[in-house]
Structure formats: structure tokens, C-alpha cells
Amino acid sequence: MFNFVLKRLAIAVPTILILIVLSFMLMFAAPGGPFNSERPLPPQVLANLEARYGLDQPYWKQMYDYVVNMVTRFDFGPSFQYRDRTVTDVIMQGFPVTLTYGFWSFVVAVIVGVSLGVVAAIKHNTWLDYLAVGISVGAQVLPNFVMAPILVLVFTLWLGWLPGGGWQGGQWQYLILPVIALSTSYMASIARITRSSMLEVLNAGFIRTARAKGLPTWRIILGHALKPAMLPVLSYLGPAFVLMITGSVVIDVYFSTGGIGQFFVNSAFSRDYAVIMGITILVGVLTIVFNLLVDVLYAWIDPKIRY
Amino acid sequence: MTLKTLLKASSAIVLLSAIAANAQATHPATGEALAEVQTFTYRVLDEHSSVDPQVVEDVTGAEVVRDLFEGLMNQDATGELVPGVATGFDVSEDGLTYTFTLRDNARWSNGDPVLASDFVYAWKRAVDPALASEYAWFMELMSIENAAAIIAGEMDKDALGVTAPDDSAFVVTLSQPLPYFAQMTTHSTTFPVHPATVEAHGDTWTRPENIVSNGAYVLREHVPQERLVRVRNEMYWDNENTIIDEVTSLVINDVNQGLTRYLAGELDRTEVPPGQFQRLSAEYPDQAISIPRLCSYYYNFNLSEGGPEALQDVRVRQAMNLAVNRDVIVNNVLGAGQTAAYNFTPVRTAGFTLPDLPIADMTQEDRNAMAVALITEAGYGIGGEPLSIELLYNTDEAHRNIAVALGQMWQQTLGIQTTLANQEWQTFLQTRGNQNFEMARGAWCGDYNEASTFLDLVTTNSGYNDAKYSNAEVDQLMAEAKTAADPQPNYTRVEQIIAEEVPIIPIYHYADGYMFNPELKGWPVDNVEQNWYSRELYKVAGE
């Protein structure tokens, strides 16, 4: 196991490097630049700006400098768009926001999703099953960019219970609507996967044995069925968690949360190269780490898997 | 004074000011009863670029800068010049030297006096290649002596034509007389900065914990992509006449979400989503307000060598210009108070008189008939050589709607086929700037309130002349207008030439629809540049 983790971490380094090179190539291939605006800048001003940010260097040199600064000084460079902030500032401000609402959305999605799935599987083909499936299908077909405005309409305008957006350092009132909007579609997927996998497990031989032994149903479910039924869910949860904590543009746009998703998209539109790179690397690293974590968990849950 | 008497005296002052505050709960000028809570919260589309006067490049940023800093001159509710840090100015007879007299009670938020040397520092900073301000061109446009050479790196920034003979005199030398120079000192690029603060903190001097400013407000809080809060600056020279205590701008990307939150009472001002103005103004007549802007929306013909051959024919361009039914576009497609444009410069531009243009006085039937005659004569369209043109615009629902409407008008009246092409903003700029288009959308908002900010665009060397239109007479007229005592005849002639040769098709002049809290008063609706200052606003008590 230890060797496996070590090997995976060793592969991560070239993976990140390839990610950096590819992102750089895509960035440079995109038309325009950070200082292109509707009003063309006088050539001298443009030259001054490019010199200031090192954009007058050849591509390979920019890439090389970037990696060296990142590795040796943990310096991701300045934002081209916002002069008073570095990329580290942008990430330090936006990432905790996204992490907070992403984490809570994950918790809600897992608890509600797994419960719905399990209930639906146990009460297979009863009204409870249909209700659970109905809820999850409903949640699935309502994408969050539809959910978000509806939530604000209902809870802010009509009921007046919750603020329609903002963050205010993450007070709970500001957290509820984003969490609902972000978690529903994940919850629906988790419920569906749990249900079908649970159904399969419930028909397996060892469950029949457990029933034959006369074990109470709740012990069969919690003690025997849930763990193997969770395997397919788990492989879904790894990437889902990364997606949730690395930002949802939709949530940031509709709830003005100031999370990292909005920075990411804006930086792409404004060609703020350093911010694009910083967030890309952050997402890349998180993806690698959580995929590894899921693989380790797999081995723990499923005795058939050995690394 | 003993401690006791001091205490007594101070409690008396507190008491008195409490009474005064109560009694003063009416507006000093209008006598309206004021609301107890004086805050102003408004939606902004996106995070502002900066609050550094010499760096800021966007409208939302400039709005914040006008609250935090004060320049030499301000604008009043109609856009006229009123004193700011300067009480006034003198112009030399040759029009080349401006001497501004600074008020002696102007203070920075840390208590330091605002000195003429602060302006000298800020103006030199704006042209300094080391700062590489994206608005350095504005100083060049102001014709300040040596500005162009300094920006180009040919001269030291200290050669800039600005001096401070004493603390209250700020002298500017121009390279050529510029009739609207004083107007330009209301622009944020010319606002002063506190030199010691800038030197001490570098790029991070604009953060709330570092910033020192001289406007009616100071920066309290800034959470990027979420909110920016500014509060009353107790050191501001006119603080006692400021009514709004706290101003908050909230970043709300989605305009519909902004409207919902406005209706829920979270905002005092928000933009009206496209296509909803008529409904909202019927539903909330005292809240939906349309504000005319100093901006024009138009389409460029590609007149460069690579452009379509048919568009080189002036008759085709004239026909297409005539066949655009502006009334349909402003009333049915847009409907938020925009006005039909038959010329380029918005009619509300200061000192500009709309020239008589035949096209403006015709009925649409007559225009269409004339258009058909022209296109037939040119040998295109219905019965002639088929013509297909691609319309390029940046990705946006409103731009698409207009392109669709234009396409239908040209198809129906002239038999010209159109295809639509949209591109993401940066890509669009590059494509249009390289003349890789047939017709492309354009829009321009005045940098200052004078017609040349628009008409310079059709001169040969303008960086924004995407049509690549070139007419020696226009170039000469615009060059002369720069120093003419009365440039209007030149502007009239240029507008006539544009109408005859049609390098661009003006479509409409902008107006923006807003929802305003009915309790919020003092908004300068008639300021076409929409240079508003929070210190002029106030909230009246609700009934």
C-alpha cells in the first residue's frame, strides 16, 4: 500500500507538469491578451505593461520562470487584471469560500442521497421507492442555474427568510441557498447509484445467508449490505468532491459568493494568465489527491482489491 | 480648562449635536424629511479593475474612485463644471497655461493637507512608463506638454508640463490649446494620490488597511467579487453637507438576480434586464428610470482592401443605412428609452448641435424606396447580383437580437442575405481589429463630453477606426477642430460626410434602464456621462 501511494505521488509530478505545459499552450493559442481592450493601447504603453509582467519573454522562458518560481518560492505570480493582488491572494480569498459551501454541499448530498437510495432499495417497488426516485429525478433535471434563481425568488423575495446572495464571511444564512442549489444534482446522482447498487447487493448470496440466520433487517443493511453497496458511490464521490470544492461558477454567479469558480471563468475571459494557471494547478492537484484518496478507500472497503 | 469643565463642555457638545442631528433631519436645500438610515447599496455587474485613480480603467471602478478621491473640478447634476479641490482656474491668453487654485481646507483622510504637489505627483505617475497605466493615453489626449514623449519612453516623467509653484497653485502647460481641457479634470485619471502612501505600500496601497484618500468617503472593506464598502470621510472638506453615511456596491453578475434582490429590498439601485423595461415601468412607474447615455451603437463596414467588394460601393452602403428601421430597433427590440441614431455623435453631447441630415427627416417608406433604388442602381440585391454579408458581434443576447433584426430588414427590403457570427469578447476584438470581418458591431462611449471623442474615430489614424475609413477632408476638419474657437461647423461637416459616405451605420444612442429605490434622491439623471457622486445623494423618510 505504502509503495502504491508513493508511486502514485511520483506520477503526480509529471502529470502536473504536463498540465502546466498544456494550459500554457492553450492560453497562448487563444486570441487576445490580458491587455487587449476595446481601445487599443499605444504601443509604448503595451510594451511597458508586457515588460512589467514578463510577457515580452519567449513562451518557453515564461513557462520555465513560472515553474521555477512556483517550486522554489511558492510564488504563482501577480494577477494581470488586479494590480493590488497576487494569484496567491486571489486563491486565498476565493478558495476558502468555495471550500466551505462545497464541503457542506457534499455532506448534504451524501447524507440525503445515500439515505434516499437505501430507502428506495429496501422498499423496492413501493410508493416510498417511487417517491425517492421521483425526488432524485426531479433534482437531477433541475440544473443549478435553474434552481438558484427559483430559490432566491422563493426564499428571498416571497418569503423574505434568507438573503439573496453575498457571503459575509460565511454566516449560516448566506450558506443555505448555495448549499441547496449546489447539492441537489449531486444528491440525485448519489441516490440513483446507491439505489441500484444496493438492489444488486441485496440480491447477493451473503445477504440471503444473513437473512436466513435471522438477523434483523437494520443489521443486515448497515452491517453487511451498505459497505459493498458503497463502492460504486465512492468512485463517483471522489471527482464529485473535487468538483464541488473547486468551485461552481453558477453558484458564484447567482449568489455572489466570491468563490473561486467566478475568478476562474473571469480570468479566462480577461486572459489573466497567472490566475488561470494558479487555479488550474490547484484543481489539478486536488483532483490527483482525491483520486488517490478514493483508491486507498477502495482497498479498505473491498478486500478483493490489493495494491 | 480642568478635566471637569472639559467633560461638561464635551457632554454639552454631544447634547447639542444630538439636537442638531434631530433638527437637521431635513435636507438642507430641499427641506425634505430625511430617512434615519442613510445608506446606499447598489449592484455592479463585475469586480472593478482598481480603485487607484491612475490605474482604474472601468466605469464601476471610476464610480468608486469618484467617491474616494476628489480631483481639481467636479461635475454637477447636469454635467457642468463645479469646483472640487480647486476653487477655480485661470487660463492664459494663448490657452496654453492653466493655473488651478486649490482650496486650503482640503484634507487627506489621515489629516494631511491636499497639496498642489500631490497633483503633480499623481499626473507624473499617470504617464510614468514604470506604472504602465492603461489610461496613460488620456493624459496624452489632454495635450499636456511632453506627455506623449514620456509615455513613449523618450523623456523623463519629470519633464511633464505640470508644476506646483506653491502649495495651493497647480499649473499645467499644454502643447496646444484644448477648449475642453478643464472638463477633462473631472476624469479619475487626473485625481490626486497621497505620495507617501503610494511610496510606502507599492501596488497594495489601495487596500483598505493602507489607503489614504481625499474624497467624501474612505474605503472600509473590499471582498473581491463580493462587496466593497465605503464610509464617510470625516476629514473631507465638505463632510457636513454629505448625507449618505455608507455606500456598498455588491457584485451581482446575473442581472435578473439583481432585479430579484432589488425587489426584495436588498438594493437601492440595479439595472433593468434587457427587454423588461416596459413591463417594469408599467408596474413600478416611480422606480423604473431610463437614463440617456453618451454612447452610440453602430455597425462598421470593412472598407479595407480585404473587405467585400460590394461594400466598397457607396450606394450599397447608403442603401443598407437607409433600410435600417431604427424605430423598430429602439421600440421593439430594446425599449428602454434608447433613441434612433441617424448620425454618430449623441445629440446630448455638450456644445453639439445635431446637423440637418436628410435621412433623419424621411419616413421609413421613403427611406426604403430610396434604398431599393440605390441597390438596384448598384446592381445588387433583388434582381441583381446576390449579396451575402456576415455580421460579426461579440457574444451577447442583446447584440444577437439587433443583428437578427438588421438581417431581416436588409433581407426584406434589399434582398441581401446575412449570416450571423458571434465571438467571445477578446477574440472579437482581435478579429475586428485585424479587419477579418465584413460588417462588425461597434459601440463607443464618450471619454469626455465633447463631440471630438466620437468623431475622432472616423479619422484615418484612429486606433478605433475598425472600418479603415479614410477621408482627407475628415482628417483635416478634425485636426482643425482641436484648436478652433468654435468647432461646431467642422463637426457638422464631418457628420454630413459620414451620412453621405456611410463608413458606419449608426443604429441608436444608448439609454440605460435602472430601478431606483423611490426613497433615494439626488440622482443626476441629466448627467449624460453619469458621473455621479454618492455625497450628492440622500434618502428621504418613507411615508
Amino acid found at B87: T
Average confidence score pLDDT of chain B:
91
Minimum distance, in Å, between the CA of residue B246 and any CA atom of chain A:
16
Chain B contacts in chain A segment 226-255 (CB below 8 A): 252-254
pLDDT at B42: 97
pLDDT at B15: 45
Q: Is A269 on the interface with B (CB under 8 A)?
A: yes
pLDDT at B1: 43
* CB-nearest partner of A149 from B46, B223, B257: B257
Contact B226 A163 (CB under 8 A): no
* Dihedral pair phi/psi, residue B221, rounded to 5°: -150, 145
Contact B257 A152 (CB under 8 A): yes
Length of chain B as a residue count: 543
pLDDT at A8: 85
Q: Is A157 on the interface with B (CB under 8 A)?
A: yes
Q: Is A40 on the interface with B (CB under 8 A)?
A: yes
**DSSP symbols for B280-326:** HHHH-TTTEEEEEEEEEEEEEE--STTS-SGGGSHHHHHHHHHT--H
Contact A94 B225 (CB under 8 A): yes
Q: How far is CA B84 from CA A60, A209, B1, B104, B190, in A?
A: 50, 88, 38, 12, 12
pLDDT at B18: 45
pTM for this predicted structure: 0.86
* CB-nearest partner of B251 from A52, A157, A256: A256
Minimum distance, in Å, between the CA of residue A53 and any CA atom of chain B:
11
Mean pLDDT of the region B38-48: 93
pLDDT at B47: 87
Contact B205 A38 (CB under 8 A): no
Contact B252 A42 (CB under 8 A): no
Q: Is the pLDDT of residue B14 over 50?
A: no
Rg (CA), chain A: 24
pLDDT at B23: 46
pLDDT < 50 positions in chain A: none
C-alpha cell at B178: 484644448
Q: Please name which of B514, B521, B515 lies closest in space to residue B542, comparing C-alpha atoms.
A: B521
C-alpha cell at B343: 448620425
Mutant choice from B44, B426, B454, B457 vs A, greatest count of A C-beta within 10 A = B426
ipTM of the complex: 0.85
Chain A contacts in chain B segment 250-309 (CB below 8 A): 250-254, 256-257, 260-261, 263-264, 266
* Chain A residues near residue B49 by CB distance under 8 angstroms: 81-82
Instruction: Write the pLDDT tens digit of every residue in B383-434.
Output: 889 999 999 999 888 899 999 999 999 999 999 999 999 998 888 988 998 8
Q: Is the pLDDT of residue B11 over 70?
A: no
* CB-nearest partner of A36 from B204, B224, B430: B430
Q: Is A38 on the interface with B (CB under 8 A)?
A: yes
Q: What is the DSSP letter of B203?
A: G
Contact A160 B132 (CB under 8 A): no
Q: Is B204 on the interface with A (CB under 8 A)?
A: yes
Q: Spell A4-29 as b/e; 16+ CB within 10 A means b.
A: eeeebeeebeeebeebbeebbeebee
* CB-nearest partner of B226 from A35, A44, A256: A256
* Chain B residues near residue A42 by CB distance under 8 angstroms: 136-137, 140, 151-152
pLDDT at B413: 94
pLDDT at A224: 86
* Chain A residues near residue B431 by CB distance under 8 angstroms: 31
Write the CB contacts of B200 (distance below 8 Å, at least 6 apart in sequence): B210
Instruction: Write the pLDDT tens digit of every residue in B479-518.
Output: 999 888 889 999 999 999 999 999 999 999 999 999 999 9
Q: Is B132 on the interface with A (CB under 8 A)?
A: yes
CB B443 within 8 A of CB B297: yes
Mean pLDDT of the region B190-207: 95
* Dihedral pair phi/psi, residue B293, rounded to 5°: -120, 160
Q: Which residue has the cell 470544492?
A: A245
CA distance B459 to A82: 33
B463, B467, B468, B472 alpha-carbon torsion, rounded to 10°: -100
CA angle B219, B220, B221 (to 5 degrees): 105
